[in-house]
Amino acid sequence: MTTATAQTTQVYQLFIKATPEQIWEGITNPEFTARYFHQARLHITPERYLSQGPDGDTWGDGPVFEYDPPRRLVHEWRSLYDPDLAAEAPSRVSWDIEEQDDGTCLLTVTHDRLEGAPKTAASVSGAGWMGVLSGLKTLLETGEPLS
Amino acid sequence: MVTYSPGMDDDRVFKALADPTRRHLLDRLFERDGRTLTELESELDMTRFGVMKHLRVLEEAGLVVARRQGREKLHHLNPVPLRLIHDRWIDKFTEHRVAALADLKARLEEESA
């Protein structure tokens, strides 16, 4: 198995059969995010991104840079759920929702500015974001979270 | 039932993966992402046009996402379609096998009880 240094700009893209509004809801409704985002409840306002674990612990807390429902959300990322990762520099996550003409949307998640956060980069890459996005897709398309 | 958009369906992913040069390109991008055509071309014994053609197939399958950064076009590996295939195909069959073994165990234990 070849290994690589985790990328400082990571791009994840997938089609989801849902409306832009449903996807936006899927990202910003804490009851919904708890079902696919490692049980994290995301509380997102135009100013602030707050992620809480199932026990109410703060897993992420930082500014929202762009808030344009239901098209684009950009916020700071800090991995406060792990002391090693929390000590690293903040990075940035962008969500872009583009409606297609076949009843689907293209969702692109870009996690960048990871230059000062190599451990975070490694921990979110691969299975990290993919598991979250695959779970979001399944939930939106079937109403059932991935078991 | 999970649906797949025609823009990123399994057929395109399997077809894209069926070529050794394209798998090699994915390996190179896995090692280091966000590369230009020129960088990728320098590692392959192939014309620029050939590399472009393969990259286009990978882009159409959703395995590579090209992003403009200033004057450069950077190619990023997008692993999500592979994950979806894994969830759709591989999980399904391994789960089945695990379930079959669990059933067998339950039946044998019942018999011996």
Q: Answer yes or no: are the C-beta atoms of A10 and A129 closer than 8 Å.
A: yes
Residues of A with CB under 8 A from a CB of B: 2, 4-5, 7, 9-15, 17, 100, 102, 104, 106, 108, 126-127, 130-131, 133-134, 137-138, 141-142, 146
Coil, strand or helix at B57? helix
For residue A121, pLDDT beyond 50: yes
pLDDT band, residue A145 (cuts 50/70/90) = low
Q: Answer yes or no: are the C-beta atoms of B33 and B70 closer than 8 Å.
A: no
Contact with chain A for residue B67, Cβ under 8 A: yes
- Category of A113 on φ-ψ map: left (φ > 0), alpha (ψ -120 to 50) or beta: left
Residue B52 half-sphere exposure toward CB, CA atoms < 13 A: 5
User: And the tokens for A96?
Assistant: 């872009």
Q: Answer yes or no: are the C-beta atoms of A13 and A108 closer than 8 Å.
A: yes
pLDDT band, residue B1 (cuts 50/70/90) = very low
Q: Answer yes or no: are the C-beta atoms of A72 and A94 closer than 8 Å.
A: yes
pTM of the model: 0.81
Contact between chains at A7 and B33 (C-beta distance less than 8 A): yes
DSSP code of residue A53 = -
- Give the pLDDT confidence of B74-105 residue by residue, as tens digits: 999 999 998 888 877 777 777 766 777 777 88
CA distances from A134 to A102, A140, B49 (A): 20, 10, 34
Q: Answer yes or no: are the C-beta atoms of B63 and B26 closer than 8 Å.
A: yes
pLDDT at A4: 54
For residue A126, pLDDT beyond 80: no
**ipTM confidence:** 0.72
Contact between chains at A104 and B7 (C-beta distance less than 8 A): yes
